[in-house]
């Protein structure tokens, strides 16, 4: 498969791993990663999947996550149930990234696209990392999908770019 576009069904069999948030923001407290069956979960909700090259990296931390934190209410007003950040980092690093950004609940989930398996399946990788992209899935259907192809840009995958398409 090469990319996703509006009108496509979200692919079957997609899973990520994550540590469910507990409300504890201590980044040294580890949880147990579990599978998140994205294909199944996305059938019943509207989600924004945001892929980033890496947790805690400059653009991802300074611009990407902050755009979603600042616009979470506006996304909710547009019917978004959850924002899910994915990267090639393992589930523990992704969990720590969420905690470091003050996320105590499931409004924004931080998940591992281990081995970039999903991102590879749609052709949106750069070596062993995901490209910077966003996919909006509304009850199993892709309603928006785009890649930021300019290094350091979040124009298409940041919250403002996504909101403009909702």
Q: Show which residues are catalytic.
A: 60
How much is the CA Rg of the chain, to the nearest whole Å? 14
Could you tell me which of 38, 133, 143 has the C-alpha nearest to residue 82?
38
Q: Cβ neighbours of residue 142 under 8 Å, at least 6 residues apart? A: 4, 5, 6, 7, 8, 9, 10, 135, 136
Cβ(138)–Cβ(9) below 8 Å:
no
User: 10 Å Cβ neighbour count for 149?
Assistant: 11
């Amino acid at each position: 498969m090469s990319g996703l576009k509006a009108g496509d069904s979200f692919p079957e069999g997609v899973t990520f791993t994550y540590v469910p948030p507990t409300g504890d923001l201590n980044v040294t407290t580890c949880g147990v990663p579990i599978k998140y069956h994205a294909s199944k979960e996305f059938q019943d909700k509207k989600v924004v999947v945001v892929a980033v090259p890496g947790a805690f990296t400059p653009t991802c931390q300074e611009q990407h996550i902050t755009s979603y934190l600042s616009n979470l209410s506006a996304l909710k007003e547009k019917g978004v149930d959850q924002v899910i950040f994915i990267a090639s980092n393992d589930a523990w690093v992704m969990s720590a990234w969420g905690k470091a950004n003050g996320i105590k609940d499931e409004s924004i989930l931080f998940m591992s696209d281990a081995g970039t398996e999903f991102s590879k399946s749609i052709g949106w990788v750069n070596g062993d990392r995901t490209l910077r992209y966003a996919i909006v899935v509304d009850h199993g259907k892709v309603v928006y999908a785009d890649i930021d192809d300019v290094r350091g840009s979040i124009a298409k995958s940041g919250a403002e770019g996504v909101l403009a398409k909702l």
